Amino acid sequence: MKTVKQIQNEARDWLFGAAAPLWSTTGVLEDGMFAEALHHDGSIMRGPRRLRVQARQIYSFCEIGRLGWDGPWRKIVEDALPAFVSRGVSEEGVFIHTYDDKGDVSNKSLDLYNQAFGLFALAHAGNALSKPELFALAGTVMDRIDADWARPEGGYWEGVLTPCPPYRQNPHMHMFEAATALYRFTNDPRWGAIAGALSLLFRSKFHDRATGAVTEYFDQSWNPLNDETGSIVEPGHCLEWAWLFGTNAKSQDEIDTSDGLSAFARRYGLCGRRGVAINEVSLDGAVINNNARLWPQTERLKAAADSFRRQNAIDSEQEIIAAYEGLAKYLVTDIAGLWHDKMKPDGTFLDEPAPASSFYHIVCGLSELLQLEI
């Protein structure tokens, strides 16, 4: 088995030597915006551009720059910001949904997921570029969300793209991620309070304490739906929440919550034969969807890195290596720097372009790995 040092070197070589050069050139469009996907022959997939992808790529290049990549990450982010800020925020003061293939706004439909990633991008760009005006814009967007989207049951209205019910935990997880980033970079107590409220919502409503898992779908009062969908668990989301709680813990309860989420995912959500985290199981551990997206592999790596950082345990070190080796399967492509997104139960991959949206997951996962001191 490889050592953590060895996989750190492999990860750095792939990220700095292949992925960042490819996505900073071919993956950047003529107008400075980002491509939605690249075909496996290295060509651009043309079409509508989602705001969430623009936001995720802004974060990704900010983070790659912070990690020490010596490429033009700063110019890439600065060139992407005008369309993101000027056209990406509507006259109503919140983030849009999509641009067309020319970069003009094509769909202003409201969605909480887009608001979360818009705020997340403003946090990282504001910090990386030392632009406090981006933090101020985040505050202005949050003013509208607080005024128009806050729900008396806790959390936020989710917009019109995914009508409720069911109500979902997932966009709230990303709102928590954005709020913790903004609090870390600004030390503004407002963002700390938002993160705290979302942490409490998770622990009081989303979290199934009997199993340690997080379910996906709820009624208006945040009770799990009383049908088969109410017991759906995505191991990747268990691991993502585990990392968020582990790295932002303010209490022992949050640490215990993190460890319980990881334990459930590792017990029921891993396919030993393929060495990967699968898409869906039920609360009793039965497999619902045995396919395996790329992103749960990065969340597994993040949760393992956090566990090692807090506990310095040999089983966490072994889990880091296993998680990375699972992720590495997706990164074996004809053109280095691309990836596969969907693994089928037989271990082969769906033949489709490499989605830019996955770069955020990969960068965040490899960042946690690369920052480990072993």
CA 51 to chain centre: 14
Q: pLDDT grade, residue 40 (50/70/90)?
A: very high
Q: What is the mean pLDDT of residues 13-24?
A: 98
DSSP code, position 106? E
User: 3-state class of 95 per DSSP?
Assistant: strand
- Are the C-beta atoms of residues 246 and 307 closer than 8 Å to each other? yes
The model's pTM: 0.97
* Residue whose structure tokens are 């969605």: 111
- Confidence (pLDDT) at 172: 98
Residue 331 has pLDDT above 90, yes or no: yes
Q: What is the mean pLDDT of residues 168-172?
A: 98
Buried b (16+ CB within 10 A) or exposed e, 265-303: bbebbbbeebbbbbbbbbbeeeeeeeebbbbbbbbbbbb
Digit-coded pLDDT (tens) for 65-93: 999 999 999 999 999 999 999 999 999 99
Phi-psi region of 78 (alpha: psi -120 to 50; beta: other; left: phi over 0): alpha
Q: pLDDT grade, residue 250 (50/70/90)?
A: confident
Residue 51 has pLDDT above 80, yes or no: yes
Q: What is the CATH number of domain 4-370?
A: 1.50.10.10
Residue 313 has pLDDT above 80, yes or no: no
Report the percentage of the chain scoring pLDDT > 70. Answer: 99
Q: How far apart are CA 176 and CA 367, in angstroms?
A: 19
pLDDT, the chain, mean: 96
Closest alpha carbon to 268 in 243, 299, 289, 293: 289
Q: What is the mean pLDDT of residues 251-267?
A: 95
Sketch the domain layout of the chain as residue ranges: 4-370
Report the percentage of the chain scoring pLDDT > 90. Answer: 95
Q: What is the mean pLDDT of residues 198-204?
A: 96
Q: What is the mean pLDDT of residues 31-55?
A: 97
CA-angle at 49, arms to 45 and 52, nearest 5°: 120
- CB-based burial of residue 33 (10 Å sphere; 0-12 exposed, 13-18 middle, 19+ buried)? buried
Q: pLDDT grade, residue 13 (50/70/90)?
A: very high
Residue 132 has pLDDT above 90, yes or no: yes
* Residue whose structure tokens are 């995505």: 234
Residue 315 has pLDDT above 90, yes or no: no
* Preceding peptide of 48 cis, ω within 30°: no
- Confidence (pLDDT) at 106: 97
- Confidence (pLDDT) at 60: 98
Q: What is the mean pLDDT of residues 87-105?
A: 97
Q: pLDDT grade, residue 311 (50/70/90)?
A: confident
